[in-house]
Structure 1
Amino acid sequence: MAEAPEMASLATNDGFSPLYLAAMTGSAPTVRALLRPSAEGTPSPASFSGPAGRTALHVAASVSKEIAQAILGWEPQGLTLLTRADSSGRTPLHFAALYGKLDIVELFLQHCHASSLELASISDNSGSSPLHIAAMVAETGIIDELTKGWPNYYELVDDKGRNFLHRAVEHGQETVVRHICRNDMFTMLLNATDSQGNTPLHLAAESGNPGIASLILATTSVDMGITNKDGLTAGDLARRARAIGLRRYFLNPQTVLYNCLRWSRAPFTLEGDLGLQVDREKDKIARAKKEEENDNIAPAEEEEEEKDNIGEARAIASVLIATVAFAAAFTVPGGFIADDRARAGTAVLGSSFAFRAFAVSDTIAFLCSIVATCFLIYSGDARRIPRSKHSWYRRWTSGLVQAGAQFLIAAFAFQLVLGVAVNRWLIVFVYVACLASVLICFPSAWVPLNFGVGKAIWRRAGWRGLVNIHERPSTLPEFFHLFTDSVLYKALRRPLFALLISAMFVAAIVLSIALPNY
């Protein structure tokens, strides 16, 4: 560089300068050498250009604080690069936020000639500020740094009129939403509307993200009744967003979200009802058009065929469980007491905890599978059973087969333990392995508990919201109907048997260690 400093001012046809390449490779010594002034004190003539209008400081913002600091100290060009935007309108601060470089963000804000708020408020071609970028990539530390000492941060919106909470909801960043909801300084964002009148809750409802919606609903300062420019509330959008074929599927995120809003007593409007009717008519037209395009193969027939296939699989599973459970009942572990002894003909191990647990588990597994088999028969009886009841029988069959399988695993564990009772650690292994299979083989039972729906409903509607009884029911059937449609019932009915089996396994493990002969 001392002999040919002008070489640093050259760039390739693609716009790559030596300084840009050195910063991109993370070579701090090379960057300092390129920026070093001559012996006479003449500033370095190095070019800072890069592709797409970016500068060396843009790439340094995504690589290293040391390199960024060296470029900022380059006289007289360095500090001027802070506000220079690339072809997409992004400054180096945008890149530092995008790559989660909190230390570089702090460095840029400290070295800005103008106000740090002015630098942080520069938007790119889509109207996104560094604050929007930080929310998009879930960098809460950078969000706090950018909003520090900035009272009007909530006025910073993109081309769609959305603030950085809108952006976090749009990109499904639960970490950012949780951080904002727990921080009182961000209260102004919670009910802010974009250019279409949508609040963050509207966007969460429309995108079908129950986790984010629950976080927002759990913040009581959020107004559930705000309508957008179409006159729709968040509840209306959630109701319209549900897929036609998955509305009753308890794991469908859009269904979970809609139920959360409904149990929280979110308002629904007449415009939403009318829009729902229009959507249903459009669905009918689309189904009819699809039927014509598929050579008159009715979608309803395809759905019936799919239901038949699922029914056959459930029938095989229920019959198999019943067969195994029935056989296990007559294969008593440990055998029977001889006729010449007291209590002749009874089970030798009948007084042990494991045997009692085996008897209970095997009985429940057998009964669940038998009832499931009967319900499957009813669900296919089109002559004597009303068609409207078929889906009810199918839903119950699904839960009964699952419960039967869980208790069959438990019965297997207790029967196996009774045969290897001499080895304590083998007993513990059997219990732990079977407990894991009960919990892991049916993960769908635990999914509704992960959305935080219960907390949001509790804060909005209290215990009445949890049991879905906001007013005193007039009849017992009405009470039963309301309760079976509540979050408490839906959240507990599926993992209930898994919890009971887990409790039995834990008790068995404790007894096998503390009282080996019990």
Structure 2
Amino acid sequence: MERDNSGSLPIHLACKEGHVKIAQELLQYCLDPADMVNDRGQNLLHIACTYRNYELVRYLLEDPKHEMMINQKDINGNTPLHLATISWHAKIVHALTWDKRVYLSELNHDNLTALDIAEVRQGTSVSLSQRLTWNALVSAGTPPSSVRFHPKKVETDSTTSDIDKQTHTTEQYKDRIDTLIVVSTLIITTSYAVGFTFPGDVEQGILILLNRPMFHLFILSLTISAFGAISSTIILMWARLGDPPSSGFCS
């Protein structure tokens, strides 16, 4: 196989573009896929993790012939787990962390584990994909490195200003969540109140409306709104109260 100008083989491009079947077909002609790395020293699993190709990651993990790729490092010392964390793909991170062959404590050339990367790369506002990725790493027992990386601190007034801005932003998000919790709770209350309010008493009201198609549509809509509001309330309460301490979650 010939390489392009970036040092990539056709199978690398298939992994990059998400062509799983083409990659599977090309793998049949590869004697040792672990040795087929690009100019950054990345194997097929590295590339699949970088470009968020979950189906290919799952295929490579399920085939014992490719297990040499699982903990292989690129030129920066990153394993596939490091790159999946950098890409914030929680599903891939979960698949890797719960595979017993994956070394969770592996360090890259910056002496960072995958958990360190997740904590160092987060900004002031944490997205859902970042939170889920961090949760996947922690729940699988991924450790921090013994020598933690800390960005250089600037001893100026701007440091205090940045902290104030972060605190203000956090409070804004909490206020918005509180408002949404109130709204979803009102929807739940209203749904249950309407559900038990029928013409006449409950039994006669149900008998009167039971054979009307619009009544069935009404009950279906009411059920969907109630369960949707309940789910939203639970998620919002988890987001509001379940934040890990800032020292461990957002460095």
**TM category, shorter:** 0.7 to 0.9
* Counterpart-to-counterpart distance in 2, 1:260 and 1:432: 35
2:60 matched to which residue of 1? Answer: 180
Q: Distance in 2 between matches of 1:422 and 1:255?
A: 50
Identity %: 23
Q: Residue 408 of structure 1: which of 172, 186, 190 is its match? A: 190
Which residues of 2 match residues 25-36 of structure 1 at below 5 A? Answer: none
Tell me which amino acid in the other structure corresponds to 1:147.
L
2:129 is the alignment partner of 1:253: yes
Query: 1:423 aligns to what?
Result: 209
Could you tell me how far apart the structure 2 residues matched to 1:433 and 1:283 are?
57
TM-superposed CA distance for 1:214, in Å, is: 0.7
How has the CA–CA distance of structure 1 residues 193 and 175 changed in structure 2, closer, same or farther, with 3 Å as cutoff? Answer: same
Q: TM-score when scaled to structure 2?
A: 0.76
Q: Secondary structure at the match of 2:118?
A: helix
- 1:382-461 alignment to 2 at 5 Å? 399=181, 402-416=184-198, 418=202, 419=205, 421-424=207-210, 425-440=213-228
By relative contact order (CA 8 Å, sep 6+), the higher-ranking structure is: 2
**1:270 equivalent in structure 2:** 146
Contact 1:413/1:430 (CA < 8 Å) preserved in 2?
A: no
CA distance, structure 2, for counterparts of residue 438 and residue 284 of structure 1: 51
3-state DSSP of counterpart to 1:124: coil
1:67-86 correspondence runs (5 A):
none
In structure 2, do the counterparts of structure 1 residues 244 and 305 end up closer, same or farther at CA, with 3 Å as the change threshold? closer
CA pair 290-260 structure 1, distance change in 2 beyond 3 A:
closer
Structure 1 unpaired stretches of 5+: 1-118, 292-297, 315-397, 448-483, 487-518
Out of 107, 111, 116, the position equivalent to 1:227 is 107
Is the 8 Å Cα contact of residues 54 and 92 (structure 2) preserved in structure 1? yes
Could you say which residue in structure 1 is the equivalent of 2:51?
A: 171
1:211 aligned residue (81, 91, 108): 91
Hey, what's the Cα distance between the residues in 2 that align with 1:245 and 1:260?
Answer: 19
1:323 maps to what in 2?
none
Q: Find the counterpart in structure 2 of residue 32 from structure 1.
A: none
Q: Distance in 2 between matches of 1:191 and 1:144?
A: 20
One-letter amino acid matched to 2:140: S
Q: Deviations over 1:102-155 (max 9, x none)?
A: xxxxxxxxxxxxxxxxx3xx2111111111111112222111111114221111
Verify the 8 A CA contact 1:208 1:241 in the aligned structure 2. Answer: no
Separation of aligned partners in 1, 2:155 and 2:94: 29
CA distance in 2, matches of 1:304, 1:202: 28
From the superposition, tell whether residues 284 and 307 of structure 1 become closer, same or farther in structure 2 (CA, over 3 Å).
Answer: farther
Structure 1 Cα separation of the partners of residues 114 and 95 of structure 2:
14
Is the radius of gyration larger for structure 1 or structure 2? 1
Normalising by structure 1, we get a TM-score of 0.40
For structure 2, list consecutive stretches of 5 or more residues without a partner in the other structure.
Answer: 236-241, 245-251
Q: How far off is 1:194 after superposition?
A: 0.4
